[in-house]
Amino acid sequence: MAEQRGGGRPIAQSQRPTGGDKAQMGKRQFFRRRKVCKFCVDRIDLIDYKDTKLLNQFVSERGKIVPRRISGVCTPCQRRLSEAIKQARNIALLPFASGSDR
């Protein structure tokens, strides 16, 4: 007989819990290292718009600003970083976009 959910609908065979742990079932779980803010670790208080070598690390190949969840930069530093990148773009130290759009 089919099991029932709270709404009264029967649960399909594929939706029933298997009772096995993912690690025991052959799926390998990996440990992801927590990203730390480069500016906080190195105690960089001023993010200078003239430091293009530093700013280029946080700009993608296409010229976009890399998001926090990928770069690991904290929120206040990401705000200062994006302002510095925008200033550098306005005075042509960094490109607005690079590569072709095709």
Give the other-Cβ count within 10 Å of 59's Cβ: 19
Percent of the chain with pLDDT over 70: 72
Tokens of 62: 């296409």
The enclosing H or E element of 88 equals helix 75-90
The highest-level CATH class for domain 36-102 is few secondary structures
- Between CA 39 and CA 73 the distance in angstroms is 7
**pLDDT at residue number 17:** 59
Torsions phi, psi for 14 (to 5 deg):
-70, -20
pLDDT digits (tens, 9 = 90+) for 16-65: 556 555 555 567 787 777 788 999 999 999 999 999 999 999 999 999 99
**pLDDT at residue number 100:** 64
Instruction: For the full predicted model, state whether its pTM sits above 0.85.
Output: no
Give the other-Cβ count within 10 Å of 58's Cβ: 22
